[in-house]
A = this chain, B = another copy of it.
Amino acid sequence: MTMEKGMSSGEGLPSRSSQVSAVKITVKEFETKQSHKEKRGGFVLVHAGAGYHSESKAKEYKHVCKRACQKAIEKLQAGALATDAVTAALVELEDSPFTNAGMGSNLNLLGEIECDASIMDGKSLNFGAVGALSGQRENTQVRINLEGDLDLIEEGVVAAHCLAEKLLGYPGHSHCKTRNNPVGHSFLVGEGAYRWAVDHGIPSCPPNIMTTRFSLAAFKRNKRKLELAERVETDFIQLKKRRQSSEKENDSGTLDTVGAVVVDHEGNVAAAVSSGGLALKHPGRVGQAALYGCGCWAENTGAHNPYSTAVSTSGCGEHLVRTILARECSHALQAEDAHQALLETMQNKFISSPFLASEDGVLGGVIVLRTCRCPAESDSSQDKQTLLVEFLWSHTTESMCVGYMSAQDGKAKTHISRLPPGAVAGQSVAIEGGVCRLESPVN
């Protein structure tokens, strides 16, 4: 595996819209590193949410990204396929109290946790999703699991993965054929999703574990402010401004959806996404993290697509849904210049989308990777090919914390990407990325 110099640098595109006030394009350069150990190859890119990452918590955000990369790489090195590796990364991201997914998720209007998650396998093109999964009312929830305890499903993405696996696990993947999934469901919500997860042995956890001190404090503070605002204000715009400023003040509730994209030693790609959703959301609200085409996308190379692509999105769920952003990015990445294609997509199909024409700002972020095979650079092994992996992240939110690692690296690299000073969140795009080469057997 060779980590090589980053993508060739590019100039910012001219602004296509008055909404786009600034475009920052930074291209990271990576040090060359050679390794010829015969471990299984693969690459992972994760993020801990597009939103606002305070400097004071930067260390924690980076740390969870690093751990998530390591978990995925351990799987890949052991020969696991992309879906297993991407699940391992997501579980780690969900388990952190600093992310808005799984543990520490935003609480809804009733003080409950309800999670969305999904996963897509680029090889089979299967997809599994859970929406508004589990939920914990602050005082009164009565939800009994098989042991008679009050339990939550902690890891939404495991349930989504398990759901996808039920489709994967039978010949012909069989949307409509399996005993465990007799009518071929790929999307379960609410209590039904909870029952299904428990029946399939997905780990659950007792109450008060997923709700952290921070998320509960943020819930109480936000709810108090919302009630106050509703009493004294009739102007919705002021209400919104107040909500925004309170969020930033308190440095909570401003992160969204976490995600990961992976390519394994066979060249299969997978993508996954998990979210606690918006703070103070209505119970039952499902965002992009559970929705096909919106939260994640993965598609191996095929007759109509020269590149394998994997995408995971984050940000304002409704913005990502209206634009079906994950699938849109995946399609765009079939163009020759990945960097240019992603930038144009973020500008023209997201910020300037007619589906979001009346929005003040369009908030989101994506991580993407695409791969293609090319002859190995070294002459040493004629039975090897190089898998060229291009990986990028882009966001219109103030910041995005990412991590990435290949199976031959000793540790993950992490980075908090920020909009340049003066750029307006929701109207500007930051984009960065790099390239690495993986040696892989010829299939």
Which residues does A use to contact B, with CB under 8 Å? 114, 125, 127, 131-132, 170, 172-179, 181-196, 226, 230, 236-237, 239-240, 278, 280-287, 291-294, 302-304, 316, 318-319, 321-322, 324, 327, 354-359
User: What B residues does A286 contact at CB under 8 A?
Assistant: 131, 187-189
The answer, among B172, B186, B191, B321, for a CB contact under 8 Å with A191, is B191
User: What B residues does A237 contact at CB under 8 A?
Assistant: 177
User: What B residues does A177 contact at CB under 8 A?
Assistant: 236-237, 239-240
The answer, among B125, B173, B280, for a CB contact under 8 Å with A183, is B280
User: What B residues does A240 contact at CB under 8 A?
Assistant: 176-177
The answer, among B179, B188, B281, for a CB contact under 8 Å with A285, is B188
Contact A318 B186 (CB under 8 A): yes
18 A–B pairs (Cβ distance < 8 Å), ordered by A: A127-B322, A131-B286, A132-B190, A176-B359, A177-B240, A182-B280, A183-B278, A185-B281, A185-B282, A187-B287, A187-B321, A188-B282, A189-B189, A189-B190, A190-B192, A291-B292, A303-B354, A304-B354
Contact A354 B282 (CB under 8 A): no
Contact A191 B304 (CB under 8 A): no
Tell me, rounded to whole Å, the shortest Cβ–Cβ distance linking A237 to chain B.
Answer: 7
**A189 vs B237: C-alpha distance in the bound complex, in angstroms?**
27
User: What B residues does A291 contact at CB under 8 A?
Assistant: 187, 291-292
In this complex, the member of A187, A322, A356 whose beta carbon has the largest number of chain B beta carbons within 10 angstroms is A187
The answer, among B192, B236, B283, for a CB contact under 8 Å with A179, is B236
**A302 vs B319: C-alpha distance in the bound complex, in angstroms?**
20
In this complex, the member of A131, A172, A287 whose beta carbon has the largest number of chain B beta carbons within 10 angstroms is A131
Contact A302 B354 (CB under 8 A): yes
Tell me, rounded to whole Å, the shortest Cβ–Cβ distance linking A235 to chain B.
Answer: 10
User: What B residues does A186 contact at CB under 8 A?
Assistant: 318, 321
User: What B residues does A190 contact at CB under 8 A?
Assistant: 132, 189-192, 284
In this complex, the member of A125, A284, A285 whose beta carbon has the largest number of chain B beta carbons within 10 angstroms is A284
Contact (A131, B175) CB under 8 Å given A183-B282, A318-B184: no
Given A173-B358, A179-B236, A189-B190, list of 17 further CB < 8 A pairs? Answer: A114-B192, A127-B322, A132-B192, A174-B236, A175-B356, A177-B236, A178-B236, A179-B230, A182-B239, A183-B280, A184-B316, A187-B321, A190-B190, A191-B283, A192-B282, A302-B354, A303-B354
User: What B residues does A172 contact at CB under 8 A?
Assistant: 358-359
User: What B residues does A359 contact at CB under 8 A?
Assistant: 172, 175-176
Contact A239 B358 (CB under 8 A): no
CB-based closest 6 A-B pairs? A192-B284, A190-B190, A192-B283, A172-B358, A189-B189, A188-B284
Contact (A183, B285) CB under 8 Å given A175-B359, A236-B177, A292-B324: yes
Contact (A284, B193) CB under 8 Å given A291-B292, A302-B354: yes
Contact B131 A189 (CB under 8 A): yes
Minimal Cβ-Cβ distance residue in B for A284: B192
User: What B residues does A292 contact at CB under 8 A?
Assistant: 291, 294, 321-322, 324
In this complex, the member of A132, A174, A179, A191 whose beta carbon has the largest number of chain B beta carbons within 10 angstroms is A132
Contact A170 B236 (CB under 8 A): yes
**A342 vs B44: C-alpha distance in the bound complex, in angstroms?**
40
Minimal Cβ-Cβ distance residue in B for A172: B358
User: What B residues does A193 contact at CB under 8 A?
Assistant: 284
Minimal Cβ-Cβ distance residue in B for A278: B183
**A292 vs B317: C-alpha distance in the bound complex, in angstroms?**
12
Minimal Cβ-Cβ distance residue in B for A178: B236
Contact A189 B236 (CB under 8 A): no
Tell me, rounded to whole Å, the shortest Cβ–Cβ distance linking A427 to chain B.
Answer: 15
Tell me, rounded to whole Å, the shortest Cβ–Cβ distance linking A213 to chain B.
Answer: 23
User: What B residues does A283 contact at CB under 8 A?
Assistant: 191-192, 195-196
User: What B residues does A189 contact at CB under 8 A?
Assistant: 131-132, 189-190, 284-286
**A356 vs B176: C-alpha distance in the bound complex, in angstroms?**
11
Minimal Cβ-Cβ distance residue in B for A184: B318
**A292 vs B322: C-alpha distance in the bound complex, in angstroms?**
8
